Amino acid sequence: MTTSTTSRELAHPDLSDVELPTVLFALSDAARLDLVRELAAQGPLTVAECQSADPTVPKSTFSHHLKTLREAGLIRNEPAGRQRTVTLRKDELDERFPGLLDAVLAT
């Protein structure tokens, strides 16, 4: 049973290392912006739940968007059994970029 499950942990940048243009670029895509809005409204979701918003987009495309958002420090993507949980890093973002997320979500 090897407790070192080497679970599929993905890399999440420290927000102090994330530059503003990177964040803005990640949010400059309609699909990604919609996802961030949904996460802000619905709280943590599994990847499948996120994707159910627009079932027409292929999994690989969706996964690519998740990667972009994750590498920009916007979301956390963590293993949860057979699935994965996606979380908006709201508190950290508010500290690093005060008012930005609220302004984006308000529109």
Partner DNA sequence: GCCACCGTTCGATCTGTATCGAACAGTTAG
Partner DNA sequence: CTAACTGTTCGATACAGATCGAACGGTGGC
Interface positions with DNA (CB under 7 A): 5-8, 10, 25, 29, 31, 46-48, 51, 57-68, 77, 79, 81-84
Which residue lies nearer to its own copies by CB, 9 or 25?
25
CB of residue 14 vs DNA: minimum separation in angstroms?
18
Length of the chain: 107
37 is in the binding site of which of DNA, its own copies, none (Cβ under 5 to 8 A by kind)?
A: none
Checking DSSP bridges between strand 83-88 and strand 45-46, what pairing results, if any?
antiparallel
C-alpha–C-alpha distance, residues 22 and 84, integer Å: 24
- Look at residues 40, 33, 17, 106 and name the one whose alpha carbon lies nearest to residue 69: 33
Query: Which positions lie near its own copies, rule CB under 8 A?
Result: 19-22, 24-25, 27-30, 33, 96-100, 102-104, 106-107
